[in-house]
Amino acid sequence: KNEVEQSPQNLTAQEGEFITINCSYSVGISALHWLQQHPGGGIVSLFMLSSGKKKHGRLIATINIQEKHSSLHITASHPRDSAVYICAGQSNTGNQFYFGTGTSLTVIP
């Protein structure tokens, strides 16, 4: 069993829809990262959070430490949001990252 599980694996949405990607983890972590990987392969770090909620533009990331769960929300989705979204838990010692397998998002115009 992976230390970090993401759902769904694949997601197709209509432009404008509200999107939620979930990440659950089974190990102790000090922080959780959300990454976005574009179709060309480039990776962008979206959020690093250890508690509560962060917002950047149309993206919102939340984490519930007690439930070991994080969500990434995209409001008013747009085709340019099409990418693979990866969550990664950073170990308590800081020297390991536990990566989810990614959620492939396609937003249709």
| 3-class secondary structure, 32 | strand
Whichever of 20 and 99 has its CB closer to other proteins, that residue is 99
Shortest approach of other proteins to residue 13 CB, angstroms?
Answer: 23
Q: What do you get for the CA distance between the two ends of the chain, in Å?
A: 36
Distance CA 70, CA 49 (A): 9
Question: Around Cβ 27, how many Cβ atoms within 10 Å?
Answer: 13
Sign for the CA dihedral angle at 36, 61, 73, 1 comes to positive
Q: Which part of the chain contacts other proteins (CB under 8 A), choosing from 10-18, 65-73, 74-82, 100-108?
A: 100-108
Residue of 26, 96, 106, 108 interacting with other proteins (CB under 8 A):
96
Whichever of 16 and 28 has its CB closer to other proteins, that residue is 28
Interface residue list for other proteins (CB under 8 A): 30-31, 33, 35, 41-48, 50, 86, 88, 90, 92-97, 99-102
